[in-house]
Chains A and B, each alone.
Chain A
């Protein structure tokens, strides 16, 4: 009798519990599906549409053809004529990132090192400043540098007023600046130029460089530095023989991440680079939303940018795991 009542009690207790369990499992599955939907589907769609067929004068239909990739590598008129214009755009994407990422890392490295030597309180204030700058929209940053480099109220005006422009003209440096594309016949000008593009791009990722180097440098074992100093090593020797070898991997990893980030930069390139030197990101934008309107081709270019970025991300991952294994 008593065992029966216990039985009933148990079954009553387990029934809602199992229902909750099933609901919980269902919610978990739904949640996972949603994450996959939102984070993976867009990339899969880009890949699928890159194989689609563009109909002249209309939109596009699903398909399975590699014409858009062919156009990317050898031009639309292949095999009658060869055009490497899109390969050149990819090269410019790589080129800007290749210059701007190392500049940002090289200048951010000593800064971050000094930052980690400050008190916790000072570090917090600096971090607020850095994070605010980091999150500031690219449109505002382009706007700021646009004013700073503009002929009427920016750097060219300052140099003119200070007489540096005249001095450059007198000594022949002005012609050098013209050769570098930094001057019009009469005055210095930085828009549009490689200098302005790379400067803005480095500025854009500089706070990222600090944030990415920060963990490694703040965990740096100070006792080895102090030991080296006590043994009479100068600051440069310490930097070269103690600090740099220990943070070599984070340094390379940071450069790679910034490089990937810069591959997709759009606003700075449109504002500061010469149209003949625009990047793949600008071309994607033009194909998908802009004047040329060719979604499958835009998608194909996106896939190529994606693969390029993915390669460098995988490289940085390999580097990190290699470093962890050695530890």
Chain B
């Protein structure tokens, strides 16, 4: 590993500062004593945290909805992604590939179009404005993420183990349970965390699906946009960035993040 030139380090440092700047400013604004977003904060207090997590039911309900939708949709996305990724790995036929391509479409195309379409679909089926429709919508939107991570995981399964299992007469089910599943578990978890974090932060699809019947944290923030940002919203931002950092740190702790992102694994 070569040492970076000093100018390269400065460039990376600058990039980090610009990347962190809006996040830092928003986080600091959460400490404002007044109702306006000022930086640096005036009259610092932690009262906004109490408001967000405890005393204001609007934010509490929104956070609850966000959490339920994020966890539920990520779980469904992982469950739906598994068979698709497995079929591609096992058979790699055109049908399986087409199915996976279809599943990746909502993520690849502009989310606003998918949101409009989902809004129509749930209006016809009576799901508009319900939490379960929101969970299914986000599962469809983010199924592409576990699909990718699980596929990467399946490619890393040791073929020698599979051959050994086959020679000893293991059925497909037994091989799956004892070899494939344990070896791909970190990748499955990564897919879950990716889908969860993105669902937590998603706004536009949820806007069309919720139809103002319920609100999530991001919806609540957008609705309050016309009246200007308040420090309580900044607490939401801190909460969200913390969840992301924890989730991705877990992915890195139990899996190989550079490999998951497509790094060359032969080099170190």
Binding site for B on A (CB under 8 A): 28, 31-32, 34-36, 38-46, 49, 107, 110-111, 114-120, 123-124, 127-133, 135-141, 143-148, 150, 152-154, 203, 206-207, 211, 214-215, 218-219, 222, 235, 260-261, 263-264, 266-267, 270-271, 281, 284-285, 288-289, 295, 298-299, 302-303, 305-306, 309-310, 313
Q: Restricting to B95-152, which residues have a CB under 8 Å from any CB of A?
A: 99, 102-103, 105-106, 108-114, 116-121, 124, 136-137, 139-140, 143
| Smallest Cβ-Cβ distance to B21: which chain A residue | A148
Option from A110, A136, A211, A281 in Cβ contact (under 8 Å) with B201: A136
- Tell whether, in the assembled complex, residue A46 and residue B117 are in contact, meaning their CB atoms are under 8 Å apart: yes
Contact yes or no, B112 A39, CB < 8 A: no
Contact at A43–B39, with CB atoms within 8 Å? no
Determine if B108 and A313 form an interchain contact, defined as CB atoms under 8 angstroms apart.
yes
Sort A-B residue pairs by CB-CB distance and give the 9 closest, nearest first: A144-B22, A42-B117, A264-B110, A215-B262, A137-B201, A38-B140, A132-B244, A218-B263, A219-B264
**Chain B residues near A117 (CB-CB < 8 A):** 1-2, 4, 8
- A110 & B197 in contact (Cβ 8 Å cutoff): no
Instruction: Enumerate chain B interface residues (CB-CB to A < 8 A).
Output: 1-2, 4-5, 8-9, 11-12, 15-16, 18-23, 25-26, 29, 37-40, 80, 83-84, 99, 102-103, 105-106, 108-114, 116-121, 124, 136-137, 139-140, 143, 197-198, 200-204, 207-208, 218, 221-222, 225, 229, 233-234, 236-237, 240-241, 244-245, 248-249, 252, 257-258, 261-264, 267-268
In the complex, what residues of B have CB within 8 A of residue A131's CB?
197, 244, 248
- Greatest chain B CB density within 10 A among A31, A34, A144, A203 is at A144
A207 to B257, CA, bound (A): 15
Report how many A-B pairs have Cβ atoms within 8 Å: 242
**Which one of B120, B198, B240 has the highest number of Cβ atoms from chain A below 10 Å of its Cβ?**
B120
Contact B110 A263 (CB under 8 A): yes
Q: Is the CB of A137 within 8 A of B218?
A: yes
A309 cross-chain contacts in B, Cβ below 8 A: 109-110, 113
Task: Kindly list chain B residues whose C-beta atoms are within 8 Å of the C-beta of A154.
Answer: 39
Query: Considering the chains assembled together, what is the distance between the CA atoms of A66 and B218 in angstroms?
Result: 36
Give chain A residues whose Cβ lies under 8 Å from the Cβ of B105: 39-40, 43
Residues of the A chain whose Cβ atoms lie less than 8 Å from the Cβ of B120: 42, 45-46, 49, 295, 299
Residues in B with CB closer than 8 Å to A135 are: 197-198, 200-201, 244
Chain A residues with CB under 8 Å of B225's CB are 139, 270-271
Sample of 20 further A-B pairs with CB below 8 A, known A115-B12, A144-B26, A306-B113: A35-B80, A38-B136, A42-B120, A43-B117, A45-B117, A117-B2, A120-B258, A127-B258, A127-B261, A140-B221, A140-B237, A140-B241, A147-B29, A153-B40, A154-B39, A260-B108, A264-B111, A281-B112, A302-B112, A313-B108
